[in-house]
Structure 1
Amino acid sequence: MRRVAYFFGGAAAAGAGTYVVVYLYRWQWQRAILCGVLLLVVEVLLLGIVLLGRLARIEERMSDADRRQEDVLARLREKEAPAGTGGDRFRWLDDEPASPTYVFVPVLMVTGVLLSGLAWLVQRIAAATARPTAERRLAGRLSVLAAPDPDGGTDLDDLPPPGARPDRAHTLRVLAAGVVGSALLAALVVGLADLTQTREEEASDSEATSLLLRVDMRGADMTAERQSLAARQLWERCRDSTSVPLNRASLGELGDGLFAGVVRPALGDHDRMRLRGCLEDTGLDRTHLTVVGIGDADDD
């Protein structure tokens, strides 16, 4: 499932990034901004998927470490088996009554019982008010020495030996991938800057540039007057989008949603692209303008 998410997320990111470059090349800023926002959303989504995967692996490792620590702690808390009882442990009971210890020993036993009871009480109070931090710390230190889980898929033979040098082939592959990625990114930035920068236009032999525009509007209340007003608003907004100031630019209505515009002086190729991109990058509600044709015109 994660691979499917990576595939669709990568495809969406590649498509959005491609259209960002395309719309920037066409000087269509509104569409480029929308695609850029979509690209950011997809990148954040992919980053969230990667982070969730990392967090899941970290939680799994922490659970495995806690389980090992509990196993080591349980082993440390195991009590030793009581030693075998021998016949000589209570030898004083076999002594004759004339022994001078027949009175002292019972008193000593009673005192030992009382001291044992007091020690047991102190131990219970300490156990209720304190935690066995020393044992837990020791168990945490010893957990790294515990044998790996056989179900975890870790094979000791696959691990590199201690003190082994890093794989040079892997390092070279990573370095080559980084160099190629940097070169592609630099080429993209330089190419985009070269395509979108403002240049001095070459002088044209034509006197003017003519455009044929079509305005499409949605809605039942979109009359011819509204259509004409929208076309003129878009035309006036894009008059300052070229490097050459369009001081003489007229727009006439041909009917059926078609409009003819004439710009003097004639525009170069770069200014044509900028004017066309501005006109087709519609910023009005329920309005779409299409440049049907553009070309040069002479005095005739």
Structure 2
Amino acid sequence: MTARRLGFLVLGVTIFWTAAYVVVYLVRWEWQRALMSGVLLLIALVVGIAAAGARRLARIERRLAELREPPPVPRGRYATSREEEPPRFRWLEGDSYRVFIPVLLGAGIVVSGLAALVERVAGAFGRDAGPPAALAPPAGGVLAGAPEPDGRDGRARAIALGLAGALFAGVAVYQLAELTQDRPDDPVAAPASTLVIEADTRGDTGAAHVDPLVQRLWEYCRGSTRPYVEGGGAVPLGERRYAIVVRPALGEHALKRMLGCLQDGLIDRARFRVVSVQPG
């Protein structure tokens, strides 16, 4: 495998996985990660288009260079300079072959006369006989019984493939819209929802404890639901675990938005993971 093919293979794998993660993060309501994957997908597509364009331009330049090159000079027995061209018919230069042309022309005239005589004799004896039965064409013609060419099969196949592609694209867009649309939830038969998260830091965050980071995350994510969360807060449970109590209880769509916001973790140098949800 050449380096060019390997590069295109890596680029194709990158485009496929970045597009897949864009869809996954959109379904999970993790908007920051979806944006990051979308930017990587856009970069990979631009690189792919640029590589394909550069390859096509190189092919065109190579073709133009081949057209500009002069024809190769023949080498061998009859190779000469441009000023002195070799004779095309060497046998015409000698005196011994000058009689060849009149003899050839005379022989042609004699053969043509004999052929005309044979044609007249054959026409006189076989005028009413007609061609033999074995050589007679079939009643319906040479192509009798052959299926007539019909171009409708190719058009029907193209139409079927186009309809199948449009149907697949429509179903994919509909399913993605169903998973990401913001819709009101029915009332939940619970006073509150409790989400247990696990918090961790990466490097120096400027905070002595994880408590202020969790509080910042809660203040940010409480506005991710519709309607906004009115009551609740973060309660430390020990061992870097916190219980986020949400009042009123979250429905199906509001819970997806809250989980996506918590998993996204927009707090700098902090990482959060949802452990459990009640009621879930």
> What range describes the TM-score normalised by the shorter chain of this pair?
0.5 to 0.7
Q: Distance in 2 between matches of 1:180 and 1:268?
A: 36
Which residue of structure 2 aligns with residue 117 of structure 1? none
Q: Summarize the alignment of residues 137-148 of structure 1 with structure 2, pairs less than 5 Å apart.
A: none
User: Gapped runs of 5+ residues in structure 2?
Assistant: 73-80, 86-150
Q: Summarize the alignment of residues 43-58 of structure 1 with structure 2, pairs less than 5 Å apart.
A: 43-58=45-60
Q: CA deviation at 1:183?
A: 3.6
Give per-residue Cα distances to partners, 1:91-137, cap 9 Å, x unaligned.
xxxxxxxxxxxxxxxxxxxxxxxxxxxxxxxxxxxxxxxxxxxxxxx
- DSSP-derived class of the 1:50 partner: helix
In structure 2, the CA distance between the partners of 1:9 and 1:169, relative to structure 1 (3 Å rule), is farther
Give me the TM-score of the superposition, normalised by structure 2.
Answer: 0.65
Which residue of structure 2 aligns with residue 231 of structure 1? 214
**Among candidates 210, 214, 233, match of residue 194 of structure 2:** 210
Query: Match of 2:58, as an amino acid?
Result: A
Give me the TM-score of the superposition, normalised by structure 1.
Answer: 0.61
Contact 1:217 1:288 in 2 (8 A): yes
Count of residues in correspondence between the two structures: 209
In structure 2, the CA distance between the partners of 1:34 and 1:258, relative to structure 1 (3 Å rule), is same
Contact 2:204 2:269 in 1 (8 A): no
**Among candidates 156, 167, 178, match of residue 194 of structure 1:** 178
In structure 2, the CA distance between the partners of 1:237 and 1:221, relative to structure 1 (3 Å rule), is closer
Give per-residue Cα distances to partners, 1:139-167, cap 9 Å, x unaligned.
xxxxxxxxxxxxxxxxxxxxxxxxxxxx9
**Among candidates 230, 245, 257, match of residue 228 of structure 2:** 245
Which residue of structure 2 aligns with residue 288 of structure 1? 271
Contact 2:233 2:245 in 1 (8 A): yes
Contact 2:222 2:229 in 1 (8 A): yes
Give per-residue Cα distances to partners, 1:216-261, cap 9 Å, x unaligned.
0123677653x10000000110001011320012211122211111
In structure 2, the CA distance between the partners of 1:206 and 1:236, relative to structure 1 (3 Å rule), is same
Which residue of structure 2 aligns with residue 33 of structure 1? 35
Alignment of 1:66 onto 2:68: yes
Alignment of 1:219 onto 2:203: yes
Q: Distance in 1 between matches of 2:34 and 2:200?
A: 22
Q: Distance in 2 between matches of 1:16 and 1:24?
A: 12
In structure 2, the CA distance between the partners of 1:63 and 1:174, relative to structure 1 (3 Å rule), is farther
Contact 1:207 1:296 in 2 (8 A): no
Q: Distance in 1 between matches of 2:153 and 2:68?
A: 36
In structure 2, the CA distance between the partners of 1:22 and 1:173, relative to structure 1 (3 Å rule), is same
Higher relative helix content: 1
Q: Summarize the alignment of residues 65-144 of structure 1 with structure 2, pairs less than 5 Å apart.
A: 65-67=67-69, 70-71=70-71, 78-79=82-83
Which residue of structure 2 aligns with residue 185 of structure 1? 169
- DSSP-derived class of the 2:16 partner: helix
Contact 1:20 1:35 in 2 (8 A): yes
- DSSP-derived class of the 1:250 partner: strand
Q: CA deviation at 1:5?
A: 2.3
Q: Distance in 2 between matches of 1:200 and 1:220?
A: 40
Q: Summarize the alignment of residues 260-275 of structure 1 with structure 2, pairs less than 5 Å apart.
A: 260-275=243-258
**Percent identical across equivalent pairs?**
36
In structure 2, the CA distance between the partners of 1:8 and 1:281, relative to structure 1 (3 Å rule), is same
Which residue of structure 2 aligns with residue 278 of structure 1? 261
Give per-residue Cα distances to partners, 1:148-189, cap 9 Å, x unaligned.
xxxxxxxxxxxxxxxxxxx99888777666554444333322
**Among candidates 11, 14, 24, match of residue 13 of structure 2:** 11
User: Gapped runs of 5+ residues in structure 1?
Assistant: 82-166
In structure 2, the CA distance between the partners of 1:197 and 1:221, relative to structure 1 (3 Å rule), is closer
